[in-house]
Structure 1
Amino acid sequence: MIGHDCFVQLARLHILHSPLSEGDVSMYGEGFHVTIAKSPTVNKALPYLIDLAQLEWYRDIASRMPIQQHQFPLEKLQQLQNSNDLDAFGRHYFHIPDATYVLNSPYNVGALWQLVQNEMLETTQTTPSANNDPFAELDINQPQTILIQQRNRYIFTQGISAQLGALLIHCQQQKPLNQASDEMLAQLPYLLQYQLVNDILEANDG
């Protein structure tokens, strides 16, 4: 997307500002999006590249984490719903598997990432022209919330609503549901529908 020469320059800048401190390079790309932000020329021409790099980093981290289980114990939820303690449910939060990341971007980077993947897969496609270039129809300035989650080694990458993203972050912070906004609570059915959670636990500050 940015060309070989530009990438090499960014890599050199990253090495300059973040010299390798150990032999293991698996985590060396963690701050690459910060390095991109330090390049005024690239940042001005491609302001969305910072978030695109962050998305790729989240996918890379998730791919190297242990396999995540997504089997939710429905009986625990049913017990809470049938409890005589009407406030019990609100004192709990849904546990999000560790290999889950939410990226809030002012740019449509999730759709851009998907277009790039499609282009890489379609190796037999002719060189895009003004008439068949899928990138030409992309509104890059459309804000987007992206979910990145490992599912049995498959890295699920999907645009979601900002409210669902806020609920996921709320649960990742282990905050009780009684502290969530009405907009976030309206997204609760999607946690189970999309198999985004694997437990429900009582919050320490519930």
Structure 2
Amino acid sequence: MQLAEFQHQFRQALHYQASGESCGIVSDQFSAEQRIQIYRNNLVMSLNEVLALTYPKTLALLGEECFEQMARQHILSVPLHTGDVSQYGRGFAKTLERFPNVSQAVPYCVEFARLEDQLDESQQQQNEFQMPQYWQSLEQLSLLEPAQHQALVLHLFPGCTAFRSHYAVFSLFKAIETQQFDQLEITQSEQGILLCHQATPPRCIAMTPAQYELFCLLEQPLPLAQIPAPLLAELAFLFELGIFAGFSLAPQGGSDA
């Protein structure tokens, strides 16, 4: 058996799609199937820990027993193809969707898991961020001439992304952190941003529709000249959040990507 063939067969066996004997495991006092089961158990335990770290509040929401059952299904149906587990767990919300008894009992769990997934991805993007050379620091804003303000393009930190939900997932995130659920109205739709800075814990910040719309326009990014004036009234709020990494100036009449 060639190495590549053996590796493929071993992965299949780990996910119950092949037997221990089929990948060359030798039986002695323990059968080949018993031996491969040890590897299977170790895989499930290890990746369950990865999922619990990626989705800590989804774990708190579902409870340990339910979460571990969902995690096991995800692990067995979504193989790990590399030794790098930093991306493992993407799409866990889709696994939850496959179990109507869970999504019916906790209908907001899928969107909440999607929020934590996006939050983890935002954290990784922020960790890899290097400011492009053509961006200017925010300290240089005071040097702009008034005529240049319309060409101003504000650039967001990559660890800052928009998120919208049919449920009050931002409020739920905070409620789980504080263990204060009395004022939670989970059926209220919410929108906002997921914010990750290297120096601070990840945050979920709910926004008004106007604040959210402004953020999405800046995310494109668009120069201020192309943004409706009423929305610009919310710009001070966004600055207070510390979400801008720098700025550039768009060519006359165009946007600066």
TM category (shorter chain) comes to 0.7 to 0.9
Larger Rg: 2
Whole-Å Cα distance in 2 between the matches of residues 53 and 20 of structure 1? 19
- Tell me the number of residue pairs that the alignment of Structure 1 and Structure 2 aligns: 187
Whole-Å Cα distance in 2 between the matches of residues 104 and 152 of structure 1? 24
* Matching of residue 184 in structure 1 with residue 219 in structure 2: no
Are the aligned partners of 1:69 and 1:97 in contact in 2 as well (CA < 8 Å)? Answer: no
Q: Which residue of 2 aligns with 1:75?
A: 140
Query: Gaps (5+ residues) in structure 1?
Result: 120-133
Q: Which residue of 2 aligns with 1:200?
A: 247
**Once the 2 structures are TM-superposed, how far is the Cα of residue 97 of structure 1 from its aligned partner?**
0.6
Q: Which residue of 2 aligns with 1:66?
A: 127
* Matching of residue 24 in structure 1 with residue 70 in structure 2: no
> Aligned partner of 1:95: which letter?
H
Superposed CA deviations along residues 13-46 of structure 1, whole A, max 9, x for unmatched, are 3234422221111111221122222322222221
Greater mean alpha carbon deviation, residues 58-67 or residues 184-193: 58-67
Are the aligned partners of 2:160 and 2:195 in contact in 1 as well (CA < 8 Å)? Answer: yes
Change (3 A) 1:142 1:72: farther
Which structure's relative contact order is higher, taking Cα pairs within 8 Å and 6+ residues apart?
A: 1
Q: Which residue of 2 aligns with 1:98?
A: 158
**Once the 2 structures are TM-superposed, how far is the Cα of residue 203 of structure 1 from its aligned partner?**
4.3
**Once the 2 structures are TM-superposed, how far is the Cα of residue 100 of structure 1 from its aligned partner?**
0.7
TM-score by length of 2: 0.62
> Aligned partner of 1:48: which letter?
Y
Partner of 2:247: helix, strand, or coil?
A: strand
Q: Name which of 65, 75, 81 aligns with 1:15.
A: 75
* Matching of residue 39 in structure 1 with residue 64 in structure 2: no
Q: Which residue of 1 aligns with 2:194?
A: 148
**Once the 2 structures are TM-superposed, how far is the Cα of residue 72 of structure 1 from its aligned partner?**
5.1
Are the aligned partners of 2:175 and 2:184 in contact in 1 as well (CA < 8 Å)? Answer: no
Q: Which residue of 2 aligns with 1:169?
A: 216
Q: Which residue of 2 aligns with 1:122?
A: none
Whole-Å Cα distance in 1 between the matches of residues 234 and 155 of structure 2? 15
Change (3 A) 1:17 1:89: farther
* Matching of residue 89 in structure 1 with residue 149 in structure 2: yes
Q: Which residue of 2 aligns with 1:128?
A: none
Q: Name which of 103, 110, 113 aligns with 1:53.
A: 113
Whole-Å Cα distance in 1 between the matches of residues 245 and 108 of structure 2? 32
Q: Which residue of 1 aligns with 2:4?
A: none
- Name whichever structure is richer in helix by fraction: 2
Superposed CA deviations along residues 62-89 of structure 1, whole A, max 9, x for unmatched, are 4443287999524336514x22xxxx43
Whole-Å Cα distance in 2 between the matches of residues 203 and 47 of structure 1? 44
> Aligned partner of 1:101: which letter?
T
Q: Which residue of 1 aligns with 2:3?
A: none
Task: State percent identity of aligned pairs.
Answer: 27
> Aligned partner of 1:158: which letter?
I
Greater mean alpha carbon deviation, residues 64-73 or residues 11-20: 64-73
Change (3 A) 1:96 1:4: same
Change (3 A) 1:77 1:17: farther
